[in-house]
A = this chain, B = another copy of it.
């Protein structure tokens, strides 16, 4: 298994950029520790470390919006990674947008530049 430089951060977490493997759109940024990295390589499904829940996180575990890994790129310092993924359902953001980066900075502040794919209340309320 390719070693990443997890010692680079105090918490042992490295940032991962999830990018749509076809469009090149950046879907989200999240973090991995060594366990999440290993699970991703083993399963071919994007795993992260949830900083809010402090536990390993199979992306899409609650929502079904799983990310199938198509390719992985490692940066020059081995301290960040791109997961090129096929985003099931076409939405990565827990707010129901295609990407987490759906806010564009303009002179008046932030403008929403994407259209919701799902209603978060419906997707998350049906789960335990």
List residues of A whose CB falls within 8 A of some B CB.
Answer: 2, 10, 15, 17, 19, 23-26, 28-29, 71-77, 80, 82, 93-95, 97, 100-105, 109-110, 113
A57 to B74, CA, bound (A): 23
A104 to B73, CA, bound (A): 4
Q: Is the CB of A100 within 8 A of B72?
A: no
- Some 16 contacts from A to B, beta carbons below 8 A apart, are A15-B29, A15-B80, A19-B26, A23-B24, A24-B24, A29-B75, A71-B105, A72-B104, A73-B102, A73-B104, A74-B104, A74-B105, A74-B110, A75-B100, A76-B97, A76-B103
**Contact for A76 among B72, B77, B100, B113, CB less than 8 A:** B100
A95 to B74, CA, bound (A): 14
Number of copies: 2
A110 to B76, CA, bound (A): 11
Instruction: Select from chain B the residue with minimum beta-carbon distance to A94.
Output: B76
A104 to B101, CA, bound (A): 25
